[in-house]
Amino acid sequence: MAGETPDTKGQPGITQAALFALCPRCGAKGLFSGLTRFAPKCGACGLDYQQFNVGDGPAAFLTLVIGGLVLGLGLWVELAFEPPLWLLLLLLTPLIFGATVWGLRVTKAALLAAEFQRKAVEVTHKDVRKD
């Protein structure tokens, strides 16, 4: 890439790391050890993923966004086609599950990559100066 510095060579961008679950340091696959659980560390470069604090932000955000989209889609299907309730649930349940898992993986990976690239650290009460 143009403008690469030696310390960022080989590192994926935030979008690439998020979409393909790549290590933000070396670009190796294997960021997750489960559906939405981070692996303890990178198998290739040894980066400790547990040092990053992604938090519950992605889950809260996805609950609102996916819930709103599925509610809108469900209402549209109900009003347009009037399917039985069991069919509506059969159609929407896998959609909710798939969108939530995929969304959690992408947003958690993006936040971890952003923290790595910005060298974010947790602020403690010792770090805050009182003037």
pLDDT in tens, 26-61: 999 999 999 999 999 999 999 999 998 888 888 888
pTM of the model: 0.81
For residue 129, pLDDT beyond 70: no
Which pLDDT tens digit goes with each residue over 65-114?
999 999 999 999 999 999 999 999 999 999 999 999 999 999 999 999 99
Closest by CA to 88, choosing from 100, 77, 99, is 77
